[in-house]
Amino acid sequence: MLHILRERLRQGHRTGKFPQQEPTLPERFRGRPQIIADPTPQQCTAAIAGCPFSAWHKNGETLQLDLGRCLFCADCPAVESGVLHFSHDYRLATSKRDDLLLSAATGRLAEKLNKRMLKLFGRSLKLRQVSAGGCNACEADLNVLGTLVYDLGRFGIQFVASPRHADGIMVTGPVTANMQSALLDTYAAIPEPKLVIASGACAIAGGPFCNSPEVNRGIGELLPVDLYIPGCPPHPYTALDALLRLLNKR
């Protein structure tokens, strides 16, 4: 027992100082994409044609990247040609689906809840996590939020086992046909008012399965979404930053 106590003292305090202190992320971390201001027509065409998930498109003369569809794979021609590079900015979440449409001149982060919802959930937010056909990558990184490094509970946010104890749902996965009714039943079981959070590219837009008839192209087709957290999977700090912004703690 003395050896255990000595080792615990040696390791010290392990919980991160986020949000008071910015996290240290690995060099290979792919954060918020940065798009050059004036890509050539050839670069635009190559970017749009080279993405198998249709993340790139033109809005008039402006090249846009849909963060809801992007898998951050860095294999597209836009990266090779220098049109796009990934920064170390982990802040990605938005309150509206349209805010995920990123261009060289745009970029808007998630906003806090309205006054009434903040009064209800600002000090205590319970979420039921629903894996709607995901690969478990998003689910695993959400589980990490409960470890001592992130310690989600210190912010008053917890994942609960029953939707009847929850204030909202956090959905991962593309919502397969077999999971659609389970998701809707879970949502219906949560008392009003309630929140819906889409976590990961699959939940936002169907991910790599977006063209399959067996999945929905994002839970926005089924439920009103209050928070979008892009990524494949979103980094734990991306999800934590999103939740804190929603509760006006960032």
**Measured distance CA(224)–CA(222) in Å, rounded:** 7
Q: Taking Cα atoms as reference points, which of 239, 246, 167 lies closest to residue 18? A: 239
- How confident is the model at residue 204, as a pLDDT? 96
CATH class of 115-246: alpha beta
Q: Domain-by-domain residue ranges, the chain?
A: 115-246
- How confident is the model at residue 10, as a pLDDT? 83
Q: Taking Cα atoms as reference points, which of 128, 44, 93 lies closest to residue 236? A: 93
- Amino acid (one-letter) located at 213: P
Name 66's bridge partners: 101
- How confident is the model at residue 105, as a pLDDT? 74
CA distances from 11 to 6, 7, 21, 32 (A): 9, 6, 20, 33
- How confident is the model at residue 107, as a pLDDT? 80
Evaluate the CA torsion angle 183, 184, 186, 192 in order and state its sign. positive
Nearby residues of 164 by Cβ (< 8 Å), 6 or more positions away: 189, 190, 191
**Measured distance CA(102)–CA(140) in Å, rounded:** 27
Nearby residues of 134 by Cβ (< 8 Å), 6 or more positions away: 172, 173, 174, 200, 202, 203
- In the DSSP assignment, the letter for residue 112 is P
- How confident is the model at residue 106, as a pLDDT? 76
Which of the residues in the chain have pLDDT under 70? Answer: none
Per-residue pLDDT reduced to its tens digit, 195-236: 999 999 999 999 888 888 888 888 998 999 999 999 999 999
